[in-house]
Amino acid sequence: MRIGKIFGIDIVINLSWLFIFAFWAWVLANSDTFGRLHLSPAGRMSLGLITSLFFFASVLAHELAHSLVARSRGIPIRQITLFIFGGVSSLEGEPSTAPVEAWIAFVGPLTSIVLAGVFLALSMALGPQTPLGIASAYLAYANFVLGIFNLLPAYPLDGGRVLHALVWRWTKSRLRATQVAANVGRVLAIGLVAYGVFQMLYSGGAWGLWLIFIGWFLLQAGGAEQMQAELLSALQGLTARDIAVPPAEPVPADATADVALQTMMRTGNRALPVMLGDQLLGIITMGDFVKLTDRAPASAYVTSLMTRTADLKSAPPSASAVDVIQMLSKSGVGQIPIIDETGTLIGFVTRDSVFKRLPLHREMRRVTGTA
């Protein structure tokens, strides 16, 4: 769910966020801290909602800090997503050097800790016994925990990324750094799960369960990032020709749309070359069928629906595999045709075959330590 743009960056809210937002508002409203305030139930609920809103604004500020610094270093930002465990800034590209990576990662927790200071000052200014003063004190505490928790060297938390940058600087090898950071992250994530279980057994309550969830989430996210880094390094030196899947069964230029559709169904291909003899005229894809509007598929020629060769976003077979996958992820189309200098279609680099295994947008996943 898109809620708007800040500094030109799309802000998206995952449905899980609404759930956790309502949950925290309710928990806060019924907490001992707010209970001591002699407020009406409606007053407590409004205070809970306001506090919750400011807390999520704080998470957003943390993510914006990552995103704005990344953008200032030339990395485009796809969007910021808020979800149950916090926020994700989706960066389209990798930091080029270790210091850039360290700075992008560190600025998030730094923002949270600065916010903690601001809310603490606000709480003292408002009076620590007033409702808004207590809410500010809570926000100071929550932002402080958020900042410190994210500095844990548990990749893919921010602290893990700082560790990654340091090892990268020392060893001069990005892949080696990923392996080290992922292993340290795994140990810490398992530690969090174990500590969560211990908490649940000996003191009970939701805090232990929350730690287990976070640890489990970190294990998943860290594993995915490591796989991505390893795939990326495996792709180094490969060309578009190496990763292209061979062209699907072509359809002739005089074929109608229903023939193309049947060929797609039968062969499981979403994109077919349209050929006139040996000459490639264009590509027809599953998405082109929307151009049919109210025409019957049997009466429309594929040539009236296809994208012509001249208008195709294509790449030569000698292009680097990484560049073509990046092109694919940015263009929003399902496949990039690989066409050589004689106009012959070599094959397609598709989302299905490569993109799923290699999401090139780098996701900076973070977890909120909402205690």
Residue 304 Cα distances to 56, 254, 286, angstroms:
49, 10, 14
Specify the residue, 64 or 349, whose C-beta has the smaller distance to Zn ion. Answer: 64
Q: Does 108 bind Zn ion (CB under 5 A)?
A: yes
Q: Does 225 bind Zn ion (CB under 5 A)?
A: no
CA distance 357 to 336: 16
Who's near 193: CB < 8 A, 6+ residues apart?
211, 212, 215, 216, 219
Specify the residue, 112 or 309, whose C-beta has the smaller distance to Zn ion. Answer: 112
CA distance 70 to 297: 47
Number of residues located near Zn ion, criterion CB under 5 A = 3
Q: Which among 93-101, 155-163, 234-242, 296-304 is the span making contact with Zn ion, rule CB under 5 A? A: 155-163
Specify the residue, 101 or 158, whose C-beta has the smaller distance to Zn ion. Answer: 158
CB of 64 to Zn ion, least distance (A): 10
Asked if 311 contacts 288 with a C-beta cutoff of 8 angstroms, the reply is no
CB of 108 to Zn ion, least distance (A): 3
CA distance 77 to 161: 18
Specify the residue, 9 or 272, whose C-beta has the smaller distance to Zn ion. Answer: 9
Specify the residue, 64 or 135, whose C-beta has the smaller distance to Zn ion. Answer: 64
CA quadruple 102, 103, 108, 114: dihedral, nearest 10: 130
- Rounded to 5 degrees, what are φ and ψ at 157? -65, 165
CB of 163 to Zn ion, least distance (A): 14
Specify the residue, 362 or 366, whose C-beta has the smaller distance to Zn ion. Answer: 366
Strand partners, 64: none
Rule CB under 5 A: choose which of 192, 362, 366, 368 binds Zn ion.
366
Output the residue with the shortest Cβ distance to Zn ion: 108
CA distance 39 to 2: 35
Q: Which among 91-99, 104-112, 163-171, 240-248 is the span making contact with Zn ion, rule CB under 5 A? A: 104-112
How does DSSP assign 107-163, residue by residue?
HHHHHHHHHHHHHHHHHHHH-TTSHHHHHHHHHHHHHHHHHHHHTSS-TTSHHHHHH
Specify the residue, 7 or 202, whose C-beta has the smaller distance to Zn ion. Answer: 7
Specify the residue, 108 or 208, whose C-beta has the smaller distance to Zn ion. Answer: 108
Rule CB under 5 A: choose which of 101, 158, 225, 288 binds Zn ion.
158
In 3D, which of 66, 57, 119, 109 has the Cα closest to residue 88? 66
Binding track, positions 62-101, relative to Zn ion; x by CB under 5 A:
----------------------------------------
CB of 273 to Zn ion, least distance (A): 45
CB of 86 to Zn ion, least distance (A): 8
CB of 107 to Zn ion, least distance (A): 8
CB of 56 to Zn ion, least distance (A): 14
Specify the amino acid at residue 220: Q
CA distance 159 to 148: 9
The contact set with Zn ion (CB under 5 A) reads: 108, 158, 366
